[in-house]
């Protein structure tokens, strides 16, 4: 059965058309057999970092650093595969390539001199800022991490369980990108 046959059967043709063809890495594999077509196979999403990242013995956090050194991401340990896929999608949406980095203390994080720190989750932001404020109090604003802008957002587990908060998390990531852009303009 062809793609057009399936769309006609679902009464989506001729109204529905594909605007741009999907890149081959994202396009589902189409088989002639209807049973295998219904079980859409997806290419594995490239994971920005291994599912198991090194965990700091002191803070209990995991860190990712953008290849250009502009961003430092701090997140809770124990990333699950679904969370890793979400993290990859977030980084891809920000056009950031990140690698894992081993950081043992706040001083080491500051020594990397990122332009913007993004803390995912309340425990991450509280540890970095040495604060007891809640995530809701720290989100949506630029926090000061010893002269480095720090943006707080939801952790990956929370976003998987509360999909309505993904829009707010995207606003936080946009704030991080705007902050970086403004720093570039002022430099």
To the nearest 10°, report the CA torsion of 122, 93, 67, 124: 0
What span, in angstroms and rounded, lies between the C-alpha atoms of 128 and 117? Answer: 10
Residues 90-120: tens digit of each pLDDT: 999 999 999 999 888 899 999 999 999 999 9
Give how far Cα 47 sits from Cα of 25, 54, 55, 133, 154, Å: 14, 15, 18, 32, 19
- pLDDT at residue 173 tops 50: yes
Beta strands per DSSP E along the chain: 62-66, 71-75, 98-101, 116-120, 143-145, 148-153
Q: Would you state the structure tokens that stand for residue 145, as one six-digit string?
A: 């991490």
Q: Say which residue the tokens 């599912």 belong to.
A: 51
For the chain, domain boundaries: 1-43, 62-186
Which class is domain 62-186? Answer: alpha beta
Question: Going by C-beta distance under 8 Å and a sequence separation of 6 or more, which residues neighbour residue 34?
Answer: 1
Confidence (pLDDT) at 2: 77
What's the confidence (pLDDT) of residue 30?
Answer: 43
Confidence bin at 59 (pLDDT 50/70/90): low
CA–CA separation, 127 vs 123, rounded Å?
6
User: Model-level pTM?
Assistant: 0.69
- Give the CA angle between residues 76, 53, 146 to the nearest 5°: 55
Q: How far is CA 115 from CA 97, 104, 111, 145, 171, in A?
A: 15, 19, 11, 11, 18
């Amino acid at each position: 059965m062809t793609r057009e046959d399936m769309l006609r059967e679902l009464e989506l043709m001729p109204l529905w058309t594909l605007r741009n063809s999907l890149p081959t890495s994202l396009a589902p594999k189409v088989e002639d057999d209807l049973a295998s077509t219904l079980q859409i196979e997806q290419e594995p999403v490239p994971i920005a970092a291994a599912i198991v990242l090194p965990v700091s013995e002191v803070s209990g956090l995991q860190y990712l650093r953008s290849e250009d050194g502009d961003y430092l991401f701090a997140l809770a340990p124990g990333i699950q595969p679904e969370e890793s896929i979400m993290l990859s999608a977030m980084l891809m949406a920000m056009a950031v390539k990140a690698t894992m980095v081993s950081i043992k203390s706040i001083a080491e994080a500051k020594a990397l001199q990122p332009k913007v720190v993004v803390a995912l989750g309340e425990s991450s932001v509280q540890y970095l800022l040495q604060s007891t404020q809640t995530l809701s109090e720290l989100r949506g604003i630029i926090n000061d991490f010893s002269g480095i802008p720090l943006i707080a957002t939801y952790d990956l587990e929370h976003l998987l369980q509360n999909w309505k908060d993904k829009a707010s998390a995207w606003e936080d990531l946009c704030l991080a990108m705007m902050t970086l852009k403004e720093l570039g303009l002022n430099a």
